[in-house]
Amino acid sequence: MIAIPPGLICLAGILPAVFLPGKVRNAWAVIVGAAGLGAALALAPSSSLTLAILPGVETVLLLVDPMRSLAGCIFALAGLIAIIYAAYREIPAVETIGILASIGATLGIVYAGDFITVFVFWELLAIASLCIIWSSGAPGASGAGYRYLLFHIFGGACLLGGIAWTVIASGNVAIGPAAEGGGLLLMLVGIGVNAAFVPLHTWVPDAYPRASVAGSVALCIFTTKAAVFLLAAIGGWGAAVAYMGAAMAIYGAVFALLQDDIRRLLSYSIISQVGYMVAALGAGTAAGIDAGLAHMVNDILFKSLLFMAAGAVIYRTGSSRLSELGGLGRSMPLTAICAVIGGLALAGLPGLNGAVSKGMVIEAAAGVPYLAEALLLAAVITVIYVSRLLYRVFFRPAPEGGRGAVPRDPPAPMLAGMALATILCIAIGIVPDLLTDLLPGGTHAHPFSPAHLVESAAIFLAAGALILILRSLRYSGRGWGADIDRLYIAAGRGVAWFSAGPMVQAADAIGRILDIIIGFLKRMSANPPVAFRIAGMTLALPLVRMLANQEMAGAYEESLAGMKRRYPDEQIGIWGGGYGLVFVSIVAFLYFVFDLLW
Amino acid sequence: MPDVSGLLPAVTIAIPLLAAVLILITGRHENLRETATIVAALAMLGSVASMLPSILDGGRVTLVLLPMVPGGDLALRVDAFGMVFALTAAALWLLNSFYAIGYMRALQEHAQTRFFFCLAVAIAAAIGIAFSANLLTLFVFYEILTVITYPLVVHIETPEAMKAGRKYLAYLLVGGIFLLAATVLTYILTGTTDFVPGGFLAGSGAALTLQILFGLFLVGFVKAAWMPLHAWLPAAMIAPTPVSAFLHAVAVVTAGVFGIVRVAGWVFGMPLMASLGLGVVLAVIASLTIVTASLFALAEDNLKRRLAYSTVSQLSYILLGVSMLSVAGMTGAMAHIPFHAFMKITLFFVAGAVIVSAGRERISDMKGLGHKMPVTTLMFAAAAIGICGLPPLCGIISKIYLAIGAVEGGMPILLLVLIASAVLNAAYFFPIIYTMLVDRPADPHALDAVSEPPLTMLVPIVLTAVISMLLFFFPSVPFMDLVRIAIGEITTGVVP
């Protein structure tokens, strides 16, 4: 049976989108998104599509198994939600292209059966995201998009290196465990850029807040989670990856705590939550892979929900800062409800989807020493930053000198997108089997078991105590903007300076020296016998002065000066041919010498 | 299929030469003169394409033009690898001819008859290089190509152009002498200069002799613009844009890298190269060139010169692929010749279109051009993305093969070069894309008079970009198939 890869449907939908006028384009984008989702849902189990595009390479564009079906459906669904959400206004053409291409590229990665196909879609995803970032026109978007691209080109090239290494080691291009040594390292760096491994994570808080409010919803779904999926599909990772996950979970949570810009806060939250997934996948067991995938699905839902709510707030108030916002619970009640549900799901409240997979992750992490403890610590910090976010935006009194007009709930498309995600968060939270039945390893979640309830209660109690003791919700200020990206920017400026300064100067200097040498040779070659004579006489001049008497030396100098004055009698340019004779004779001589010696 | 003797190779070369004569005769009647160019381009493409089926069947077409000494005749032989070059050159000459006509007329350039005459002879020389059966024939056509492109480079005849032209001639003629020396030395060592799949030099001389011989070849093929012998290429940017396109994509630099691949595969052979340690030498040269040229490109504000440095860097991708001395690396190297040509010519076409339509050469002056020239600038963006090795253009295919070849050839360290180069390529191309397509000019009315270039220029731009994209989806048609046959030849030593 021939099946159509869902990603190709979304990619094919791009071309008409370019030529359609505004409102029609919105409708078209929704149709394409829905068609992609429909194709993903309709894929028959274990259908496949293999093309021989390149000699010697079997490119598997479509491979269907339980893991891929689950990931494909959730990415297609989240993509559709993002399109619906974005349709509150005329979506700019470039952003439409970016969103559709993001969905298509991610679905391409998900359903790919070989590394080459993965790599091609991987690079496409980077360009698609760049379209979304650059289309926003926000201040700083150009630089952020540029840095985003450089990061992902670097990651893509590393991934290609890892793939090449693995392909040579294994003898085929099928997706499988990475080759040992350098191949493993390159592949981890390559995937790590997209998965926001610390310290390769800075593009997330750099770029995501600079996209349009709808653009950042689309961005937050795909890149990092596609990397998580690829980690899961490759498999065979070890404790080092698990600890990287733990580091990301804590690092992201701590930085989320320090932010003032809500989308920057949520960006760090992505890093933190992806850390959970990476930790689960690094644990290496089947349960770990299930936990990582489940948390990927749930994070896609509640994180895009939070980005949608943040977008609604920014759209209605024009501000994105916790220090300026407040009191929106009354004026934007529907948004507030959705945001609270998304936030509590992120925090891991039993009854919402976050608790389901967070419990699975911590359970799977038990096999690696100290991993579960680190993740629990991150969970406590998560509760604190979620509380701070919700409190400051929705529940505290509006700050003095607030903005004039009272904001209201956002337009219907935005609400529809949020409602869809909210319903799914609640549904999976109450009936975890909706999700866990689809997992490849058949692991089940027990979020309502006494042990998990106690665990959740402990997390919330610890967080509550810390909030009361440290009064962390009151922390204000303009937020913590610094991260190690300062270092990367400085390095980039260094390279730019080096290429514009020393390198150009060095090249100019070499050029000048060459000009001098060429000029000298040219003058020499204008009349070689005379030139050699002058050179010889000039060399002998000190001797003559020393040995000869005054009169003879004077005559000698005079004849030399005259020779120089008259030189060259006639200009004979012998460009090329003249040198050629010299070179040929050198070569012939060398050959003669070698013939004698060997 | 065995070698067959046929006149078609000579006919293919004769067509543009005949056109050159007609161009001189009809020089005063512009339309007639241009007709000669276009008809010849079409006929030549047809002639090249008519040989394609038998080449794809593994056959070869041979013809002795002028018997001289055994192993040193003026002789032609069309094989799969020569076909890669010939097909690229013939297809791009057709598009470049349309483009050149539009460009030269739009700018009302002087001495157009001389211009088109030289182009026609130059393409004949390029095809001659592609079809050469031995080093001597290759050398003859190589020198003709050097000499006949000189009037094109100095076309505007300003003192600056004459200086650039002298540089151009100095580098290329001196290089030619080295090539002659290498050819003579090869003949002395082996008594022949005929290309043999898999090489014929093994065991013919001491290791040092052969190493020096390779050095002579390398300097001889200075048209490959490897550093530090690259300076003639940015200098030659003084030429009209169709000439730049011709230098960078159709014939000249392509001839240089073609020669190096030819020598590596058909004179030395990969096992001999490996045992002489020449792969490492070439890898070092190529790596340094790739990174250094990219850094130069980063600092260059003149679009054409930035593209020139990009070419220097990209050509060394091909040398890098050869240096890996592995099947995948060689495949990437051969495939990159046509792939790079189609993408780079698009970029030069656009640079010329911007000169014609907006009179701008500096990147910093191109803010917001995309709003007035959407098609042109979009094609630029597409081709630039392709050169960066990103989908959906053909550049990514050669990049994949090069990466695999680096590991296969036992030089995984070269992956770092590919990574650095990928980042640098993106670093110097994407700001141009941003400036053209996203940015807005400071003065909103600055671009009021700007519009898309004439159709004779716009259509070639779109076609080369679309072909670059099609080559991503259908790389085998026909280039990867030809490359596969050529690789089969040089690895097994027999024609498949």
Structural contact between residues A43 and A100, judged by C-beta atoms closer than 8 angstroms: no
Q: Is A161 part of any domain?
A: no
Alpha helices (H) along B132-251: 135-153, 159-190, 207-220, 232-235, 241-245
Q: Tell me the backbone φ, ψ of residue A174, rounded to 5 degrees.
A: -65, 150
Q: Is A578 part of any domain?
A: yes
A507 close contact with B: CB closer than 8 A: yes
Q: How many CB pairs under 8 A join A and B?
A: 160
Nearest-CB residue to B170 (from A165, A183, A576):
A576
Question: How many CA atoms lie within 13 Å of B190's alpha carbon, on the beta-carbon side?
Answer: 23
Q: Is A180 part of any domain?
A: no
Domain tally for chain B?
Answer: 1
Nearest-CB residue to B299 (from A167, A500, A576):
A500
Question: Which of A97, A120, A488 to mutate: most B Cβ within 10 Å?
Answer: A120
Nearest-CB residue to A503 (from B299, B438, B483):
B299
Looking at the fold, whether A404 and A333 belong to one and the same domain comes out as: yes
Q: Which residues of chain A are within 8 Å of residue B176 when distances are taken between CB atoms?
A: 576, 580
Cβ-defined contact of B174 to A577 (cutoff 8 Å)? no
Looking at the fold, whether A458 and A529 belong to one and the same domain comes out as: no
Q: Is A52 part of any domain?
A: no
Predicted confidence (pLDDT) at residue A578 exceeds the cutoff of 70: no
| ipTM value for the complex | 0.94
In angstroms, the separation between the Cα of residue A48 and the nearest Cα of chain B is: 19
Q: Which residues of chain B are within 8 Å of residue A587 when distances are taken between CB atoms?
A: 181, 184-185, 216
Q: Which residues of chain B are within 8 Å of residue A499 when distances are taken between CB atoms?
A: 295-296, 298-299
A207 close contact with B: CB closer than 8 A: no
A511 close contact with B: CB closer than 8 A: yes
Query: In 3D, which of B480, B249, B148, B108 has the Cα closest to residue A53?
Result: B480
Q: Is A435 part of any domain?
A: yes
Q: How far is CA A580 from the centre of its chain?
A: 53
The pLDDT value given to residue B136: 94
Question: Who's near B215: CB < 8 A, 6+ residues apart?
Answer: none
Q: What is the pLDDT along chain B (496 residues), one digit of tens a residue?
A: 568 888 999 999 999 999 999 999 998 898 999 999 999 999 999 999 999 999 999 889 999 988 888 878 899 999 999 999 999 999 999 999 999 999 999 999 889 999 999 999 999 999 999 999 999 999 999 999 999 999 999 999 999 999 899 889 888 998 999 999 999 999 999 999 999 999 999 888 899 999 999 999 999 999 999 998 898 999 999 999 999 999 888 889 999 999 999 999 999 999 999 999 999 999 999 999 999 999 999 999 999 999 999 999 999 999 999 999 999 999 999 999 999 999 999 999 999 999 999 999 999 999 999 989 999 999 999 999 999 999 999 999 999 999 999 999 999 999 999 999 999 999 999 999 999 999 988 888 888 888 999 999 999 999 999 999 999 999 988 899 999 999 999 987 443 3
Looking at the fold, whether A421 and A531 belong to one and the same domain comes out as: no
Cβ-defined contact of B434 to A163 (cutoff 8 Å)? no
- A313-318 long-range contacts, Cβ below 8 Å, gap at least 24? A313/A262, A313/A393, A313/A407, A314/A213, A314/A262, A314/A263, A315/A88, A315/A213, A315/A410, A315/A414, A316/A407, A316/A408, A316/A409, A316/A410, A317/A403, A317/A407, A318/A403
Q: Which residues of chain B are within 8 Å of residue A182 when distances are taken between CB atoms?
A: 412, 415
Predicted confidence (pLDDT) at residue A209 exceeds the cutoff of 90: yes
Secondary structure in 3-state letters for A47-82: CEEEEEEECCEEEEEEECCHHHHHHHHHHHHHHHHH
Nearest-CB residue to B296 (from A137, A499, A591):
A499
The pLDDT value given to residue B495: 38
The lowest-confidence range among A255-269, A395-409, A463-477, B388-402 is A395-409
Rounded CA separation A261/A376 (Å): 25
Looking at the fold, whether A451 and A579 belong to one and the same domain comes out as: no
The pLDDT value given to residue A572: 41
At B375, list the tokens: 């098609």
A positions 246-265 inside 8 Å of B (CB): none
Q: Which residues of chain A are within 8 Å of residue B399 when distances are taken between CB atoms?
A: 160
Q: Which residues of chain A are within 8 Å of residue B389 when distances are taken between CB atoms?
A: 123
The pLDDT value given to residue B494: 42
Cβ-defined contact of B430 to A146 (cutoff 8 Å)? yes
pLDDT in tens, A90-147: 999 999 999 999 999 999 999 999 999 999 999 999 999 999 999 988 888 999 999 9
Looking at the fold, whether A454 and A327 belong to one and the same domain comes out as: yes
Q: Is A249 part of any domain?
A: yes
pLDDT in tens, A353-385: 999 999 999 999 998 999 999 999 999 999 999
> Which H helix or E strand runs over A289?
helix A286-317
Structural contact between residues B113 and B21, judged by C-beta atoms closer than 8 angstroms: no
Rounded CA separation A394/A390 (Å): 6
Structural contact between residues B335 and B261, judged by C-beta atoms closer than 8 angstroms: no
Cβ-defined contact of B422 to A598 (cutoff 8 Å)? no
A positions 481-500 inside 8 Å of B (CB): 492, 495-496, 498-500
Predicted confidence (pLDDT) at residue A304 exceeds the cutoff of 90: yes
A132 close contact with B: CB closer than 8 A: no
Looking at the fold, whether A463 and A582 belong to one and the same domain comes out as: no
The pLDDT value given to residue B69: 82
Q: How far is CA A50 from the centre of its chain?
A: 28
The pLDDT value given to residue A512: 87
A547 close contact with B: CB closer than 8 A: no
Rounded CA separation A527/A504 (Å): 35
Nearest-CB residue to B390 (from A127, A161, A183):
A127
Nearest-CB residue to A584 (from B181, B418, B425):
B181
Nearest CA in chain B to A94: B438
> Which H helix or E strand runs over A388?
helix A371-390
Rounded CA separation A212/B427 (Å): 24
Cβ-defined contact of A164 to B181 (cutoff 8 Å)? no
Nearest-CB residue to A168 (from B292, B407, B484):
B407
Looking at the fold, whether A547 and A437 belong to one and the same domain comes out as: no
The pLDDT value given to residue A567: 77
Nearest CA in chain B to A59: B473
Cβ-defined contact of B418 to A161 (cutoff 8 Å)? yes
What range does the domain containing B121 cover? Answer: 3-492
Q: Which residues of chain A are within 8 Å of residue B474 when distances are taken between CB atoms?
A: 53
Structural contact between residues B450 and B371, judged by C-beta atoms closer than 8 angstroms: no
Nearest-CB residue to B295 (from A55, A137, A499):
A499
Rounded CA separation B350/B383 (Å): 10
Q: Which residues of chain B are within 8 Å of residue A186 when distances are taken between CB atoms?
A: 415
Q: Which residues of chain A are within 8 Å of residue B470 when distances are taken between CB atoms?
A: none
The pLDDT value given to residue B10: 94
DSSP of B352-368, one letter per residue?
HHHHHHH---BGGG-TT
Structural contact between residues B193 and B135, judged by C-beta atoms closer than 8 angstroms: yes
Predicted confidence (pLDDT) at residue A575 exceeds the cutoff of 70: no
- For residue B266, CA distances in Å to B57, B184, B401 come to 20, 16, 21
Dihedral sign for Cα A124, A128, A131, A133, please. negative
Predicted confidence (pLDDT) at residue A570 exceeds the cutoff of 70: no
Cβ-defined contact of A157 to B438 (cutoff 8 Å)? no
> For residue B84, what is the DSSP state?
H
The pLDDT value given to residue B1: 53
Nearest-CB residue to B431 (from A137, A146, A511):
A146
A504 close contact with B: CB closer than 8 A: yes
Question: Who's near A281: CB < 8 A, 6+ residues apart?
Answer: A228, A231, A232, A235, A237, A241, A242, A245, A288, A289, A292
The lowest-confidence range among A39-43, A283-287, A308-312, A524-528 is A524-528
Looking at the fold, whether A298 and A364 belong to one and the same domain comes out as: yes
Domain tally for chain A?
Answer: 2
DSSP of B284-295, one letter per residue?
HHHHHHHHHHHH
Looking only at Cα atoms, what is the longest distance across chain A? 119
The lowest-confidence range among A340-344, A481-485, B242-246, B288-292 is A481-485
> Which H helix or E strand runs over A172?
none
Query: In 3D, which of B476, B451, B460 has the Cα closest to residue B242?
Result: B460
Please state, for a pLDDT cut of 90, what percent of chain A lies above it: 63
Q: Which residues of chain A are within 8 Å of residue B216 when distances are taken between CB atoms?
A: 587
In angstroms, the separation between the Cα of residue A337 and the nearest Cα of chain B is: 38
Q: How far is CA B229 from the centre of its chain?
A: 17
Q: Tell me the backbone φ, ψ of residue A530, rounded to 5 degrees.
A: -65, -40
Instruction: Share the mean pLDDT of chain A.
Output: 89
Query: In 3D, which of A478, A477, A496 has the Cα closest to residue A143?
Result: A496
What range does the domain containing A580 cover? Answer: 518-597
Residue finishing a domain among A425, A458, A481:
A481
Q: Is A285 part of any domain?
A: yes
Residue finishing a domain among A481, A503, A537:
A481
* pLDDT band at residue A554 using 50, 70 and 90 as cut-offs: confident
Predicted confidence (pLDDT) at residue A493 exceeds the cutoff of 50: yes
pTM of the model: 0.92
A430 close contact with B: CB closer than 8 A: no
Rounded CA separation A465/B281 (Å): 66
Q: Characterize B457-483 residue by residue with b for buried, 16 or more Cβ atoms within 10 angstroms of its Cβ, and e for exposed.
A: bbebbbbbbebbbebbeebeebbbbbb
Nearest CA in chain B to A505: B296
- 3-state SS assignment for residue A196: coil
Looking at the fold, whether A531 and A475 belong to one and the same domain comes out as: no
A185 close contact with B: CB closer than 8 A: no
Looking at the fold, whether A317 and A384 belong to one and the same domain comes out as: yes
Predicted confidence (pLDDT) at residue A459 exceeds the cutoff of 90: yes
Nearest CA in chain B to A11: B392
Question: Which of A116, A133, A160 to mutate: most B Cβ within 10 Å?
Answer: A160
Looking at the fold, whether A336 and A475 belong to one and the same domain comes out as: yes
pLDDT in tens, A410-448: 999 999 999 999 999 999 999 999 999 999 988 888 889
Nearest-CB residue to A54 (from B408, B430, B475):
B475
Q: Tell me the backbone φ, ψ of residue B147, rounded to 5 degrees.
A: -70, -45
Instruction: State mean pLDDT over A504-508.
Output: 88
Nearest-CB residue to A120 (from B396, B425, B476):
B396
Looking at the fold, whether A588 and A448 belong to one and the same domain comes out as: no
- Comparison of pLDDT for B83 and A182, the residue scoring more: B83
